[in-house]
Structure formats: C-alpha cells, structure tokens
Chains A and B, each alone.
Chain A
Amino acid sequence: MSSTQAEPIPGARKKLSIPFGLTLVALLVFLCVLLTIFTPSFMTERNIPNLARQGAMIAILALGETFVIITAGIDLSVGAVVGFTSVIVAWLLTHDVSIWLSILITLGIGLGIGSFHAFGIVKMGLPPFIITLATLTSLRGIGLLMTNGSTISITNDTFTDFSRNDVLNSLFGIDIAPFDVPNLFAMVILVAIPAWLFLSHSRWGRYLFAVGSNAEAARLSGVSVTRTIYLAYILSSVCAAFVGLLLASRIGIGNATQAEGWELQAIASSVIGGTSLFGAVGSWHGPLLGAFILATINNGANLLNVNSFWQRIITGGLIIVIVYFDQLRRRRR
C-alpha cells in the first residue's frame, strides 16, 4: 500500500499545552490570592468555611445540570425544585416524619420531577426548554399553595445542625473548628466522586455524550436514547432535591420562593466550567470549579463592599470572557 504512506494524517494536532481544568484552578487560586492581599477579612476562619458552604449548593446543582446539558438539553427548573423540595422536607419534618424518611421522600420527589421532564421530552415531544420552564413556574406555585404563601420553620435541630457542623466534629466529635471541612462542602465531594465515575468511567456516562453528539447515531448503535434522557433529567432533579435538603437545613425553613435564579447560576457555573450548550462537551469537575469561582467573586465583592448590582454585571462579563476563551481554545483544535 504505497499510496497510503504519503497521505497526511488528519486530526494531527499538538497536545493542548494546559488543560482547561487547570486554567480554572489557577483562576480560582489567583482570585483567592488577590482577595487575601486586598481584604483582611477574606482569609479568615469565619469567611473561608462560609465561602465553602455558599459555593457547595450551587456546585451540586451545576453538576446535575451538566448531565442534562451534555445531552444537548437544558433544565431550567432546578432552582424551583430546590425551593419546592425545601418546602416538602420542612412539611414532613414538622409532621413528625423521621429525618431519614423525610430525606428519602424528598429525593424521591426529585426523581418524580425528573421523570416527568423526560416524559414530556420523549413522549410528548416538548423541547427541554419548554417543559422545564413550565415546571419552573408551576412548582413554585404548588409550593406556595401548600404553605399558603408562608414559610414553614423547621424545629428539628438535628436536621438544621447538619449544615452548620463540620465533618470531623459530627462524625467523631473532634472539634478543630476553623480547620475542619464543613459538612456542606463534604456533600460536594460525596456527589462528585460518583459523578466522576459515572461520567468518565461508566457506559451510561458515555451514552449521555453520544446522545448529545448525535442522537440518531447513538440509537443506531444500540443506545436507548429514551432511557438516557430519563437518566439525565432524573439526575439533575435529584441533585436539585438534594440541594433543597441542604438549603432547608442551612436556613432552617421551607419556602417555595427560595433559590430564586439559582438555575441561571447553575447553568453559568457549568458553562464557565467548559460545558457546551450544544451538547457532548462537559466534565464532572468543570461545573464544580465554575461554581466556586462564581462564589468567590461574589464573596470577594461583598468583602470589598462592591455594590451588589455590580456583582451581577461582573458575573455576566465573566461568563462572556471565559466562554469566549474556551471557544478560541476549541477552534484551535
């Protein structure tokens, strides 16, 4: 085969000099160093755990959202699911349901919501944007109806203490307060490890990418597109329900109007973390880093007394800049 030798090899390219994930880590570290230098109150035993707790919830939300975005879909309902499930768990706890059963039921409701989204997309043929927009508004409505527009206070201390406590303290009673890992942050790790195994090392993780890249080709290769879509939306809603539990624990109430706009923060975190809204591009670590970058910026802006209106503008600008650089990077490939 003499003719094959001289033919150029397509797709030849140099290895990317720096992986995108490392760039994000560098950005996060850079932000922290900057804030440590310019504000005395950033690197303090009060602020750092606080930041870890703040970022944790959006991080988990963004991770769930990423599964959906990889299939080239979108889940606009996650913020509403957080608010709604905070009401559910608060209601259950005030009606003397045990903690573990309350948690299970709440997560089960998340599963139900995700299944409903997938049903709407697969069986009714609705675009993901529409079906999740519909649940976004109606879930908040249902939550408000249930509470008659008011707030349910959670009186169960075991439940609310969880979010304030740290890992070593709650597990072994060792109190090294500022140096311990906050429970909320530990939850990110608890979710991230299975997410990593799922997305990078399991068959179903691959199927998410295949469906997002070319659903028809995936189907002809024997992938059940229906089941994959169900899986993605269920994971997203269950993550959101999980965050609903964490939020209820942190603020000690159930209220359907909580977590307003979190869906956009989750999507922004995911996109900053390198997820492509066109599908088939995304990682487990990207959205986590994205969420903590956003949280650090907001936190830093607060400490620097930057007007909170400016914070929104900065977040918007950051999304444009990071995604633009990511696009440049992809185009070079």
Chain B
Amino acid sequence: MPTASPTLAPRVALAQVPILELRKLDKRFTGTHALKAVDLAFLPGEVHSIVGENGAGKSTLIKLLTGVHVRSSGEILWQGQPAHIATPHDAIALGINAVHQEVVLCPALTVAANLFLGDEEIKYGMLRHRAMLRDAQEILDEIGFNLPAGAMLGSLTIGQQQLVATARAATRGTKFLIFDEPTAYLTRQEAAQLFALIRRLKARGVTIVYISHRLEEVFDLSDRVSILRDGELISTERIEDTNEEKLIRGMINRTIEQVFHKEAVPFGAPVIEARHLSGRGFSDVSMTVRQGEIVGLYGLIGAGRSEFVLSLFGREPATAGEILWQGKPVKIRSERDALKLGIALAPESRRDQGLCLNMPVGFNINLPILRRLTRGILIAGRPETEAAEGQISDLRIKTASRHALASSLSGGNQQKIVIGKWLNHGAKLFIFDEPTVGVDVGTKAEIYRLMGMLLKQGAGIILISSYLPEVYELSDTLHVFRTGKLVASHGHKVASHEDVLSQAIGV
C-alpha cells in the first residue's frame, strides 16, 4: 500500500510493543466496503487521533474494536496475541472501552448507580447504596470531574452526562479507551476537565483513541494521528510532522478556503428587525437581518443568543420591544405564528428535533410543503416525486433512493435534509442553530453551499454557532452576546478572532 506511510517511527518502535495491532483489517457490509485492509498499531500510553470524513470508516473501526460488529477478514492482535472480539463483552474483558457520541446510560438512575451499573457493590444480596454513593463521589473527585454522585443523571446537562459516561468507561480496568466526538456537547470548562483526564490516563499508560472533527483538539492532545478516507488508511504520522492543511487535504482533497466558501449575495430589503427586544435571558437586543445576509450570533453558553432566537421563533415570546417583519410590526406568540410568517428553524439536535428518522427520505423532504403539493384533498403523486428527487440531487444527498429511511443516512446527509427541506418551502428567514455539530469537513462545505442557495433565493439567515471559525468566516454581520446583552457587532471579517473571543468572555 503505497499511500500508507510506515506505521511506526523507528524510534518509538524500539521501545514498545503495540498494545493493539490491526493487520489487514477488513469489513464489508452488503453493498458497502466500509474498511479496506487497514494496518494500524496503537502503542501503550499514546493518544492516537483518527480523523476522516463521515463515512470514512471511523465508526466501523470503533465498532470492530468494541465488538459491535465482527471483521470480515484480517487480524486483531491484543498485546501481540491474536484476539477474537465478537461481542461487546469480549472487548470489555480485554480492557477496551469506548465513550460514544450519544450517551447510552439510564437517565432515571443516579450518577452513582450509572457508574456502578452492571457492577454494583452488594452485601448480603442487597445493594450498598451509601457505600456506592461514597465511592462514586471519590471516583469523580479523583478524576477531576465536578459532578454530584447523588444527582439523577437525567437532571444533568448533556455535557455532564457525557462526563459521567467517560468516568464510567475510564474506571473499569480500562487499558484502551476510545473517544468518539467527545466534545460535541461539552462546554469549554467541561472539555478542559475531559482533556485533563485524558492526560492523566495517558500518564497511567492507558492508550487513548481520539476521534474528533475539531482539529485544534487533535493537535492539542495527540501523539500521533491517522487519516481514514473511504475506508482506507491514508497515513499515520507523528503530530509534530503534520499540520492542519495536510490533515484536511488527506481527509478530503480540499483546502480550508474551499470549505468556508462564501457566496457574495447583494443585500435586499430587511426581512426581520428586532427593536429593543427583551425576554427571559436577554434584554434590549436590536438587530436587522436583510435578504441575502448571514447574521452570525456568537457567545458562550448562557449568553442569551439562543433565548433571543427562540423568542423570534415564538417559543418563548418576547416580553418587551418590537419585531418588524418585512417592515411591518408583528407579534410572534407561537411557533405556528413564526412558521406562517416564513421563519424556519433548523434545530440543533437533528435526531431529536429535526427528522422523522424511521420515515423515508422523501417523506422528510416534503413534510413542510405537503400543503402546496395537495391538489383538492389528495397529494399529487408526480409533483411529490419530482420535489423529492429534485432535492436529493440538488442537495447531493447520498441515499439509495427517496424510499430509504432517513435513519440509514450518515449524520451529514441527515443534516442536509434538515436544512434542505426548507429550500422548496420559500421561508424568508432561516435560523440555523449549530448546523455543523458532529459533521465532517466535506459535509460542512455542502451545508455552507446550501446556505448560499437560500441567500440567493432572497432569504436571510441567522447563524448560531459555538465554532468561532464558522461564524467568523461566514457572517456578513457578527453579533457577540454576553450575559444577555448584545455587546459588539462586526462586519464581515473586520475584527480578529481574539477580539471576538475576548468580547464574548468579557476580558
């Protein structure tokens, strides 16, 4: 395999035997060659990042290592010995654990109960509640997570739940720990706690496999980084020997400028104007969104930008101030009011809020425009088919057909539906709440392209993102929120990253 550079730099290889080694690991699903003869070695105590687009084979690799799927051919060596990992139980018995993107724990149990789930402390056949609570708190304190062991898991934020899942995976004699997009839902502080834990585990000789779309984290944490593309291992390099450009090129054959491609669309009339708007969590916010304009909102969690936007969408109506819609004063009391005016929201959590996952792709695409597809009382068959097929090809949604279930698509393609279903709808204002969380670089570029299409149709966009490069590169106007107030506004790429960040933090 000419593209794969030597898997081990000689210096490192001298000292250590790999804890886990993959030899020509191969996985085929019906019709899909998900992983193509991958050779890869993981050393004890290293942080090894794996990067690649959605569908590049990262998830398949994790699933083979954690016993969710069984390999088609090739070998897995554990500490030099051939290992057979056929079930999750086999993997855990070896000391392989994983923290998944989505939390798979019981929300109705306490943090302590979740930590000890399946491995409870028992005396005389009874659970030792108090002892477990005490031990759980000790574990959490020891690994530096600031969490109450007695709290119900469901009462915590998603980020905190993610930390509980991490604590669980990290404290069970784990020698090999896989993180799949662990920081997608974490706040900055929580992420810092997580990184500290990773460093401590590494010092104890635990091997960490780190999968993330956030390249800055990859550079921050890793010793080595491997690139997967289309199921093939492109390269494995020491982190000092590579850079962001190189990684992106390896992943997609495209440059950063091409990713944040921004359409230059002339501005039209104002779509919506907020005048001195106040509500729960924000006060006295004024801004205008014009046709063809992307207005970016940046701020830390709890800065009030989400609350502000939800009031525009009618979820929690504003208590004071005025909203002008295309120049006329309006009251938006409910989401139905908002949708009637022509305000569409692409929500943050596509699985929970954006898609009917167990329904077909075409069904999801046409859901907002069924009224228009109806002739008399029935839905017209051909326009419906045309609308769905048109969107699938325009949006470049990778799907077997419009009849395939939305759940069968990759995350990025699902997100394209969440956004793209509004293209035919003709809404005038689009609110994008974290549109690219957990989406790979290639799909990000596609989503930005979709935004451009909406702008050209004469719509305005409000873009909320915690990912600074994204709002920074894309926004025509960038508003910075802090503690419920709009503290600064910038034109396109006028201020520096540092300025924006310090205004958001307030230093």
Q: CA–CA, A224 to B377, complex, Å?
A: 17
Whether the pair A217, B355 counts as a contact (CB closer than 8 A) is yes
Whether the pair A11, B399 counts as a contact (CB closer than 8 A) is yes
Whether the pair A9, B31 counts as a contact (CB closer than 8 A) is yes
- Least Cβ distance of B164 to chain A in Å? 25
Whether the pair B379, A206 counts as a contact (CB closer than 8 A) is yes
- Least Cβ distance of B446 to chain A in Å? 9
List residues 371-388 of chain B with CB under 8 A from any CB of chain A: 371, 373-374, 377-379, 381
Nearest chain A residue, comparing its CB with the CB of B370: A203
Whether the pair A217, B410 counts as a contact (CB closer than 8 A) is no
Whether the pair B359, A213 counts as a contact (CB closer than 8 A) is yes
- Least Cβ distance of A123 to chain B in Å? 15
Neighbouring B residues of A203 by C-beta, 8 Å: 370-371, 373-374, 379
- Least Cβ distance of B338 to chain A in Å? 10
Whether the pair B408, A8 counts as a contact (CB closer than 8 A) is no
List residues 226-250 of chain B with CB under 8 A from any CB of chain A: 229-231
Whether the pair B370, A220 counts as a contact (CB closer than 8 A) is no
Neighbouring B residues of A210 by C-beta, 8 Å: 356, 359, 363, 367
Mark each residue of chain B from 306 to 335: 1 if its CB lies under 8 Å from any CB of chain A, else 0: 000000000000000000000000000001
Neighbouring A residues of B345 by C-beta, 8 Å: 220
Whether the pair B442, A3 counts as a contact (CB closer than 8 A) is yes
- Least Cβ distance of A84 to chain B in Å? 31
Nearest chain A residue, comparing its CB with the CB of B410: A10
- Least Cβ distance of A330 to chain B in Å? 10
Interface presence of B421 (CB below 8 A): yes
Q: CA–CA, A210 to B355, complex, Å?
A: 9
Interface presence of B409 (CB below 8 A): yes
Q: CA–CA, A9 to B254, complex, Å?
A: 21
Q: CA–CA, A183 to B359, complex, Å?
A: 37
Nearest chain A residue, comparing its CB with the CB of B379: A201
Neighbouring B residues of A159 by C-beta, 8 Å: none
Neighbouring A residues of B358 by C-beta, 8 Å: 213, 280-281
Whether the pair A206, B367 counts as a contact (CB closer than 8 A) is yes
Whether the pair B363, A11 counts as a contact (CB closer than 8 A) is no
Mark each residue of chain A from 182 to 216: 1 if its CB lies under 8 Å from any CB of chain B, else 0: 00000000000000010001110011011001101
Q: CA–CA, A6 to B34, complex, Å?
A: 11
Neighbouring A residues of B347 by C-beta, 8 Å: 216, 220
- Least Cβ distance of A37 to chain B in Å? 40
Interface residue SS majority, chain A:
loop
List residues 20-74 of chain B with CB under 8 A from any CB of chain A: 30-34, 53, 55
Neighbouring B residues of A318 by C-beta, 8 Å: none
Whether the pair A220, B379 counts as a contact (CB closer than 8 A) is no
Interface presence of A331 (CB below 8 A): no
Neighbouring B residues of A333 by C-beta, 8 Å: 405
Whether the pair B405, A218 counts as a contact (CB closer than 8 A) is no
Q: CA–CA, A213 to B361, complex, Å?
A: 13
Q: CA–CA, A201 to B382, complex, Å?
A: 12
Interface presence of A96 (CB below 8 A): no
Nearest chain B residue, comparing its CB with the CB of A211: B356
Interface presence of A305 (CB below 8 A): no
Neighbouring B residues of A218 by C-beta, 8 Å: 356, 367
Interface presence of A223 (CB below 8 A): yes
Q: CA–CA, A214 to B367, complex, Å?
A: 12
Whether the pair B335, A7 counts as a contact (CB closer than 8 A) is no
List residues 193-234 of chain B with CB under 8 A from any CB of chain A: 229-231
Whether the pair A201, B367 counts as a contact (CB closer than 8 A) is no
Q: CA–CA, A218 to B353, complex, Å?
A: 8
Neighbouring A residues of B104 by C-beta, 8 Å: none
Whether the pair A13, B374 counts as a contact (CB closer than 8 A) is no
Nearest chain B residue, comparing its CB with the CB of A5: B230
Q: CA–CA, A209 to B362, complex, Å?
A: 13
- Least Cβ distance of B18 to chain A in Å? 29
- Least Cβ distance of B358 to chain A in Å? 5
Whether the pair A6, B230 counts as a contact (CB closer than 8 A) is yes
Interface presence of B368 (CB below 8 A): yes
Mark each residue of chain B from 407 to 446: 1 if its CB lies under 8 Å from any CB of chain A, else 0: 0111001000000010000000000000000000010000
Whether the pair A222, B400 counts as a contact (CB closer than 8 A) is no
Interface presence of B404 (CB below 8 A): yes
Q: CA–CA, A4 to B254, complex, Å?
A: 12
Interface presence of A12 (CB below 8 A): yes
Neighbouring B residues of A207 by C-beta, 8 Å: 370
Whether the pair A7, B367 counts as a contact (CB closer than 8 A) is no
Q: CA–CA, A82 to B175, complex, Å?
A: 63
Nearest chain A residue, comparing its CB with the CB of B359: A213
Q: CA–CA, A74 to B356, complex, Å?
A: 20
Whether the pair A4, B398 counts as a contact (CB closer than 8 A) is yes
Neighbouring A residues of B254 by C-beta, 8 Å: 3
Q: CA–CA, A6 to B352, complex, Å?
A: 30
> Per a CB cutoff under 8 Å, which of A7, A217, A280 touches B398?
A7
Given A2-B253, A203-B379, A13:B336 Cβ within 8 A: no
Whether the pair A216, B370 counts as a contact (CB closer than 8 A) is no
Whether the pair B335, A219 counts as a contact (CB closer than 8 A) is yes
Neighbouring A residues of B230 by C-beta, 8 Å: 3, 6-7
Whether the pair B379, A3 counts as a contact (CB closer than 8 A) is no
Interface presence of A221 (CB below 8 A): yes
Q: CA–CA, A13 to B442, complex, Å?
A: 25
Whether the pair B378, A9 counts as a contact (CB closer than 8 A) is no
Neighbouring B residues of A2 by C-beta, 8 Å: 253
> Per a CB cutoff under 8 Å, which of B30, B363, B409 touches A206?
B363
Nearest chain A residue, comparing its CB with the CB of B31: A12
Q: CA–CA, A8 to B57, complex, Å?
A: 10
List residues 1-48 of chain A with CB under 8 A from any CB of chain B: 1-4, 6-14
Q: CA–CA, A7 to B413, complex, Å?
A: 12
Q: CA–CA, A280 to B381, complex, Å?
A: 21
- Least Cβ distance of B247 to chain A in Å? 14
Whether the pair B377, A202 counts as a contact (CB closer than 8 A) is yes
> Per a CB cutoff under 8 Å, which of B30, B252, B354, B359 touches A3?
B252
Neighbouring A residues of B33 by C-beta, 8 Å: 8
| 16 A-B contact pairs sorted by A residue (CB < 8 Å) | A3-B252, A8-B34, A8-B231, A10-B398, A10-B400, A10-B404, A11-B400, A11-B409, A12-B400, A201-B379, A210-B359, A219-B335, A220-B354, A221-B368, A280-B358, A333-B405
- Apart from the given pairs A3-B254, A10-B409, A214-B357, 9 other A-B contacts in the complex at a CB distance below 8 Å: A3-B442, A7-B230, A9-B398, A12-B31, A197-B377, A206-B367, A209-B363, A213-B357, A222-B368
Give 7 nearest A-B pairs by CB, closest first: A11-B408, A11-B404, A213-B356, A8-B32, A12-B400, A203-B370, A11-B400
